[in-house]
Amino acid sequence: MQLLILILKKVDLMDKLLKELAECGVKGGTILDGTGMANALVNMEDLPIFGILRHIVDDTDKEETKVLMFVLKDEQVMVTRNTIKSIIGDLSTPNTGIMFSIPITYVEGLGE
């Protein structure tokens, strides 16, 4: 089993992505709201350089990010990755997202 994590910056594609993942057999996952490190640093009062950046970066420019996590059987990983890429496009394009997986050595509570 593997934990597939997608940090999605193109949140406008979320509904379409979730629908396609369900259709390709992904039965569930977890979705979290995310904030990029640059946005967090801009709001730190004790870092003077970022205080300057705060005036440059408007609050409306802060991008929404979603973190999607899926526990998958090994045979589901490639199909899921391909489905994600077919919806959100080339991940090497800036401000698209980051996707990776981590092997799982133990899992409990999947209801299988």
pLDDT tens-digit series, residues 41-76: 555 555 555 555 555 555 545 578 999 999 999 999
pLDDT at 37 over 60: yes
Mean pLDDT of 16-35: 93
CB of 11 closer than 8 Å to CB of 97: no
DSSP letters along 41-97, please?
HHT-TT-HHHHHHHHHS-GGGPPPEEEEEEEE-HHHHHHHHHHHHHHH--TTSTTSE
> What residue ranges define each of the domains in the chain, with the CATH number in brackets?
2-34+64-103 (3.30.70.120)
pLDDT at 111 over 80: no
**What is the pTM assigned to this prediction?**
0.79
Q: How confident is the model at residue 35 (pLDDT cuts 50, 70, 90)?
A: confident
* Per-residue pLDDT, 57: 54
Please choose, from the candidates 28, 25, 32, the residue with its C-alpha nearest in 3D space to the C-alpha of residue 6: 32
Instruction: Give the separation between CA 37 and CA 14, rounded to whole angstroms.
Output: 22
